[in-house]
Amino acid sequence: PRPFIQTDFPHPKSRDGDTLARHAAVHLQKSGYCVLDGFLNQEHSLNVLREVKSIQDSGVLIDGPLSGGRTSSEKSKKFTKRVIRGDKITWLQGQEESCPRINSLIAQMDELIQRLNYFLQGQYAISGRTKAMVACYPGNGAGYACHVDNPNRDGRCVTCIYYLNDKWDVTSQGGLLRLLPVSGGHVDVEPLLNRLLLFWSDRRNPHEVQPAFDMRYAITVWYFDKSEREEAKMAQLNEDMSKLRGEVSLPDVKEQKER
Ligand SMILES: COc1ccc2cc(-c3cnc(C(=O)NCC(=O)O)c(O)c3)ccc2c1
Ligand SMILES: [Mn+2]
């Protein structure tokens, strides 16, 4: 049977920024995710799609983390199990002259998240973001196995995905994003054009991309929580320094006392 697919996500009546951000804050705090349809106007979203396709045609997209190479568990074995090619990606700062419409989308995402931060009343202090990841799933049945974006406190608190797939039909084209919130159940999100999906990036939201059978486009930005990000950078710095010094930990001191 067709998976239960939620397409009638409630959408705030008025379009002003604060209403949208408040709606997103309420939904995130209640369910850990939020779907906003019609994030840009139709023409703008089609122009963003046009720019993504020209980026794809320019050949700058590289294999995503799991495509083409070995799956992480295969590193130890001699042979490498070839995974089917997964998503192809590129990273954009959001100021490139070659894609003004994508830059404008990123600016709108930034503005929404800054307003959202205000309505989260101190739950997070969202202070920065990653570059925007433009991803194309090639449509050969590749998907993305169930995973958590930020399992180990790397600083990312909100995942923000903008979908660009016009007239997408999951029954024939697959590519469904399935959230498996630890609070139970599952939420199926179709990767529809001009749809923005937000969800907490941590272990509360394991999610998967089911195999896609047509080219499937998305632009993802991860937003950082200030303190979690600072701690993660400090931990990384200490780890790098101890590697640099070739630091070796000594056997436990109290054993020596007993000698
Ligand atoms: C170390 O370099 C890299 C480079 C790129 C990386 C991209 C992802 C990633 C994570 N999540 C999704 C996802 O959930 N997509 C949901 C959807 O498209 O509907 C996705 O497409 C891609 C994870 C780790 C990476 C590491
Ligand atoms: Mn993910």
Q: Which DSSP string corresponds to 72-120?
A: GGGGGSSS---PPP--EEEEE-S--TT-HHHHHHHHHHHHHHHHHHHHT
Residue 4: its pLDDT value, please? 44
Check pocket membership of 218 for ligand 1, CB cut-off 6 A.
yes
ipTM value, please give it: 0.97
CB 232 within 8 A of CB 154: yes
Check pocket membership of 113 for ligand 1, CB cut-off 6 A.
no
CA 148 – ligand 2 centroid, Å = 6
**What atom in ligand 1 is closest to the CA of residue 175?**
19
Check pocket membership of 192 for ligand 1, CB cut-off 6 A.
no
Q: How confident is the model at residue 37 (pLDDT cuts 50, 70, 90)?
A: very high
- Rounded distance between C-alpha atoms, residue 41 and residue 93, angstroms: 22
Smallest CA separation from ligand 1 atom 11, residue: 149
The overall pTM is greater than 0.90? no
What is the mean predicted confidence (pLDDT) over 194-218? Answer: 97
The answer, yes or no, to whether residue 69 has pLDDT greater than 80, is no
Buried b (16+ CB within 10 A) or exposed e, 218-232: bbbbbbbbeebbeeb
Q: pLDDT tens across 103-154, in order?
A: 999 999 999 999 999 999 999 999 999 999 999 988 999 899 999 999 999 9
